[in-house]
Structure formats: structure tokens, C-alpha cells
Amino acid sequence: MQNKMNIVCGVDEAGRGPVIGALVLCGVAIDEFKVPALVQLGVKDSKLLTPKRREMLYDEILKVIDSHKIIVVEPAEIDEALNSPHLNLNWLEAIKTAMILNELKPHKAIVDCPSNNIAAYSSYLGNLLKEKIDLLLEHNAERYPVVAAASIIAKVTRDRLIEDLKKMYGDFGSGYPSDPKTKTFLEKNHGKYPELFRTTWAPYKKFQQSTLDEFS
């Protein structure tokens, strides 16, 4: 059994900005002496890798690490948080990150921080932890191999979920508002498949309002 004092955890997310589909968070826990094995695999920020390379690394990462935890946050839960006076997307992400860390119980955690205010986010996250963990929060934390590994697991998981959705609903592109295919799909289907969309996102509200105006 691994000594808890040696375990480091990296946490990252995939799918923070899309108007379609879930936000996926992943925590990867590994004994620090095995981190060079992640470096040897060539892990890096998932955005810098091709889909094929991410898929290959996904399986290799799981062979090296000690444990991992994935949390999928569906659009309805994101909307609920953004409609709450007490939450926002950053705090929701902190809550889910705390759930990951409370389960994996590392000695140290490196977290890719979504907030511009790292100190406030760190304080909020720290208050949600059941045990003391040495926290390191940074922007662009994928430069740490353990966070890069988490980013790959999160991204591959989300990509697979998106492909499953496309089989059910049709091809909507990447799910990001800037994607013309996504924009067209949203315009045609925002009223038909509300469960698919983050209804608190401005692009969704725009088309929803346009529809309401037509009938007013």
C-alpha cells in the first residue's frame, strides 16, 4: 500500500466553455517517485495533443498512476449553480475538486486554477477539504506532468461523451459557441433538446429570446 505522504494529485478539467455537453473534472494520484514515468510517456497539456495521441496516452497513463477520480457535471447542474445566488462556475468547480481530493486523499495536490483570484479560490477550496492537503494552485498548471495527465484523462472522457451525444442528437460540431456547426445546431434545436444545452450561456439565451420575441 502506498504511503500517503508520497502521493501527489493533479486536477484539471475539460469542457468549461462549451454551450453543449458536460464539464469533466479529473484527479490523478501517483506516488511522486513515479512522476518521471509520466514524463517518459510524453504527457503534456491535452490541448497540445492530437485526439489520437490523447487516446493512446489515456491507456498508458492509467497503467502508471495509482488511482484517479472523474466527475462529470451535466449542463443542468451547471445551470443550477449559475442560477444560484451563492454559486458560480468557479465555486462549482472548487466543490467538485474538493470531492476528488477528499476521495483520493493525497498529501499534495496541484490544481489548475480556473479563477483569476488564486488566493480566494485556494481559500474556498481549502475550506471544503476534510483533511489537510498541501495545495498548489496555478494557472496553466498543465506544465506539471501529473496535471497534464489529469487534463488528458478529462479531455478523452469528455470527447467520448460528446461522441455518444452526437449518436443520439446528430452532429453539432465541437459544442463551442464559436463553432459555426454548433451555432447552427443551437439555432435549430435549442427548443427541441433543452437538456443538451447550458441554458445559462449567452448564446443559448440569445436564441431562446429570439424565439420568445417571435411569439410575443
User: Structural domains in the chain?
Assistant: 4-167 (3.30.420.10), 171-215 (1.10.10)
Q: Per residue in 100-143, pLDDT tens?
A: 999 999 999 999 999 999 999 999 999 999 999 999 999 999 99
> Would you state the pLDDT for residue 30?
98
Q: Which of 2, 15, 45, 47 is nearest to 146 (CA)?
A: 45
Residues of the chain with pLDDT under 50: 1-4, 212-216
Half-sphere exposure of 164 (CA within 13 A, CB side): 9
How far is residue 145's CA from residue 56's CA, in Å, rounded to a whole number? 16
How far is residue 37's CA from residue 194's CA, in Å, rounded to a whole number? 43
